[in-house]
């Protein structure tokens, strides 16, 4: 009963390919995020969706397109993959109040390697 689950966990693909990472949360949260963690462990927000609407887009290339079919899902599609896209991508969710404050709950990460 994982709270935030993302698939696949590992993905190795060639430059130029298009790939997707799926994310689902069963916490009933209204807000979902995508974070990127590079090889130096720097953790940066890419996108945030609240009730299926985009609220934060942190100057991410247009090749990255998030899609939220409902508030429990936020998928990340990446076109024309480049070597620099290799990183760990974390999906996350949060909800105001609910006794847990604004805690962000992270998934286990998706390790993307572009060769």
Q: Select from 18-26, 30-38, 60-68, 77-85 the region that touches other proteins (CB under 8 A).
A: 30-38
Residues 58 to 87 in contact with other proteins, rule: CB under 8 A? none
Strands, E assignment, the chain: 4-7, 10-13, 19-25, 31-37, 43-50, 53-57, 64-70, 73-78, 87-94, 105-106, 110-114
Q: Closest CB to other proteins among 65 and 108?
A: 108
- Residue pair 33/47 in contact (Cβ under 8 Å)? The answer is yes
Applying CB under 8 A, among 13, 27, 108, 113 the residue interacting with other proteins is 108
**Selected binder of other proteins within 42, 59, 70, 83 (CB under 8 A):** 42
109 binds other proteins (CB under 8 A): yes
For residue 100, how far is the Cα from the chain centroid? 21
Locus of tokens 């979902």: 32
| Residues near other proteins (CB under 8 A) | 4, 30-31, 33, 40-45, 48, 50, 55-56, 90, 92, 94, 96, 101-109
């Amino acid at each position: 009963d994982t709270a935030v689950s993302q698939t696949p966990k590992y993905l190795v693909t060639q430059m130029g390919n298009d790939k997707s990472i799926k994310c689902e949360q069963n916490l009933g949260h209204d807000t979902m995020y995508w974070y990127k963690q590079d090889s130096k462990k720097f953790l940066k927000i890419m996108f945030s969706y609240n009730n299926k609407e985009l609220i934060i887009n942190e100057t991410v290339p247009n090749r990255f397109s998030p899609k939220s079919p409902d508030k429990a899902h936020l998928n990340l599609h990446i076109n024309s993959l480049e070597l620099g896209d290799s990183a760990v991508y974390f999906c996350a969710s949060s909800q105001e109040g609910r006794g847990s404050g604004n805690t962000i709950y992270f998934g286990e990460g998706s390790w993307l390697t572009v060769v």
